[in-house]
Structure formats: C-alpha cells, structure tokens
Amino acid sequence: MSCPGTRLFELGCLLNGRPQVRDKAMRVVICGGGVIGVCTAYFLRRLGVDVIVVERTEVAAAASGKAGGFLACDWCAGTPLDALARRSFALHAQLPEEIAGDWGYRPMSAYGGYVASDGDPRRTAPSALGWLSDGVVIAQRIGTTETTAIVHPQKFTSAVMTAALAQGAELRPGRVTGIVRDPHGTRAKGVEVEGSIIEADAVVIAMGPWSLLAAQWMSLPAVYGQRSPSIVYDLGSNVPADALFLECETDGGAVSIEVFPRADGSTHITALSDIAPLPLDPAAVTPDRDAIARLQAMSERLSPLFRPDKIIAQQACFRPVTEDGLPLIGPVPQSDGLYVATGHNVWGILNAPATAEAMAQLIAEGGTRQVDLAPFDPARLVPLDPSLLQAR
C-alpha cells in the first residue's frame, strides 16, 4: 500500500526490478526520543539511512517510560487503526528475536468486570481470580494469549534505542528550536538545536504532545496532551499475567481502572485521566496528588496485595491526542522533507513498531508496503494557528 504521490516512484522501482540505490546515504533527523522516535530510528537504520535522534531530556522520559505497555491485536477492529495495530502486534512478537535485551514481552489474558458497590449483593462474593478481593466481579475474558500481550515500555524503548545506536544511529541531547529550510523556504534541510544546526535530508517530528510546539515552524494540526496518573507496585510473582479492565464506582461517578502485571514483577495501575496544562519540559510532569490518592484507594480495594509499602512509583504522563482521535503519520503539508508521527493516544506503545516501519519505508523508499497511512494523513485536519503558541 502506498501514500498519495508515490506512484511514479514505485513504477520506476518495478521497472528497474530493484529498490532505488542512492550514491550517498540519506540523513534523517528525528526530533524526540520516545518510543515512536526511537523505533523510527531503528527501522530507518535497517534500510541504510543515517539517523540522528535529538532528545531534550532522556530516552523514554515521558509517556514512553510511564505507560502501561499493554498490547492488543484486534481491539481496533472496525476502525482506521485496525491494520496498523495488527501489523504492530505482530512486530512486537518478532522484535525479541531481533533485538538484544529483556523488556518483558509476554502474551497475557485480559479480563473485564467491575467492583461491586456497597449495595450490590455480590459485594461479599469471592472473585473468580483468587488474588483479588471479594466483590471484584470478573464478567468476561476480553483477551487471550493469542490476542493480548505486554511489554515494559521504558525497557522496550531503551532497548530499541540501543539497537539503533549499535547499527550506527546517533543520539544527541538538545532542544529543537526550529527547522532549517532551503533558500526558497519549501524544503527542510535540517534542524536548529539551541543555536546549532544539524543538516539533514528529512526531519521527523515525533515529540509526543510536545509536537504541538512544532506548529510554530510548519503547518501542523493541534496535538493535545491528556494526563494519566499511575501507580506501580512491586508484587513479584504474586500476580498472574492477567490484565484487568474494571469499572469502579466512586464519589465522582463510574471510573475505569486498568491493571497491568508485568514480567519483571511490577504491576502498573492507571485511571482518572484529565486535561491539564502541558509543561514545556517533560521532566516537569508531575501527578496530581488528589488523583494519586484516589487511585491508591481504588487499588487497595482491588486486592490486599496493593499495600502502600509495595509502591515503587507514583507518576503521571501526557498522552498525545488529536482532534479526531487518530494519529498524525506522514508528510507535513506544504513542506518537502518534513514528516510527523504523533497523536497515538493510548496505543502509542502498541503502534510504535508499525508506525516506525511505515515511516521508514515512506522516507527511504517513497511508499509503504504493509500499512496504508492515508487515514493518518496530517493534511486531513485544519492546521493550528501558530500565533496561539507565541506565549509558550
């Protein structure tokens, strides 16, 4: 499958009987060291492209290090994300055979249910899963070891970055402050990083919700940040490989709480997403104290294993979302050599490999092979007015 405007390129490749070979290696600068950026670096290096990743804080500093890491093959069925998710789920299963390191990839089951309220007759009934408290009702299995899995997101992102570096990619610290263009202003020729210039043949914006800042330099739709608090417990092997998606009644109404046991013995619990101002520095992201307190109370209701002394992290991250809920993946409108990959919302870890594979093919070869990126074309949405960012 191909993106618009690549037919002539593909026809030339078919007539020649082989992919295009360049006299000089192409160089791509990737802005952002999150899971999307580092996976794109890895797949570009596999195609022989020179890659420089620019990251202002550290690899996996934001959502890529603090997400749940849950993977689902078919939970996007019937949506434009379906093909991307299925391809990416398959790639997640393959990558442990290709990349050194242990990021806790393992298949798992997933269950849906609810926490019985005080007036519910099932409040004192034993749970179908023995490690859960009475009144935690498991209503159905919603994922099997064939269709759902998990990774440790920080370890996964770091391992992929290490693999890309081993293949010749570079990682440079710094904050991207602008795009360098040709004299006509139509083609990107690199990036400005706090006063210095890094030349490139193409630039990829993959800064999660901070991709919003790039709208100062190019025609991009708005990317918003949705904050998600989480608590991580160290429970060892006491919790089986079962993800939980539960409805819980609180004073503020019904809340969805998600529980993700990982292979390293940690269990990630999240709920209570909200909208909050996005700090300019990812390192400045902190959780709301009230949200953490509510999440801890809900966690302790789920199981006696979730004791305060078992908490190893109380944190928050901002997930990038777009106006229509679909990611931005593809060429930036009105700018040759500029690309964007962000806005994956809750499916960033899942869809990172297939997004990166498609982006690498698009940049290096002119078209994609496994996934059609047309539904994610940035041009589908109205660009953000850059004057709205001047105060930032």
How confident is the model over 364-378, as pLDDT tens digits? 999 999 999 999 999
C-beta of residue 312 within 8 angstroms of C-beta of residue 234? yes
Residue 25 has pLDDT above 90, yes or no: no
Local confidence band at 4 (pLDDT 50, 70, 90 cut-offs): very low
The pLDDT value recorded for residue 11 is 29
The pLDDT value recorded for residue 24 is 73
Taking Cα atoms as reference points, which of 272, 280, 241 lies closest to residue 254?
A: 272
Cα–Cα distance for residue pair 112/259, rounded to 1 Å: 11
The residues pairing with 269 across neighbouring beta strands, listed in sequence order, are 231, 259
Q: Please tell me which residue, 328 or 390, carries the higher pLDDT value.
A: 328
For residue 55, give the H/E element and its range: strand 50-55
* C-alpha separations of 321 from 88, 98, 342, 345, 374 in Å: 19, 31, 8, 5, 18
CA triplet 324, 286, 155: central angle to 5 degrees? Answer: 80
Could you tell me the end-to-end alpha-carbon distance of the chain, in angstroms, rounded to an integer? 39
C-beta of residue 115 within 8 angstroms of C-beta of residue 248? yes
**Residue range 156-182, pLDDT digits in tens:** 999 999 999 999 999 999 999 999 999
**What pTM did the predictor assign?**
0.91
Cα–Cα distance for residue pair 67/317, rounded to 1 Å: 7
C-beta of residue 207 within 8 angstroms of C-beta of residue 348? no
> 223: how many CB neighbours lie within 10 A of its CB?
27
Mean pLDDT of the region 174-203: 95
Q: What is the DSSP letter of 375?
A: G
Local confidence band at 390 (pLDDT 50, 70, 90 cut-offs): low
Residue 90: exposure state from Cβ atoms within 10 A (0-12, 13-18, ≥19):
middle
Residue 78 has pLDDT above 60, yes or no: yes
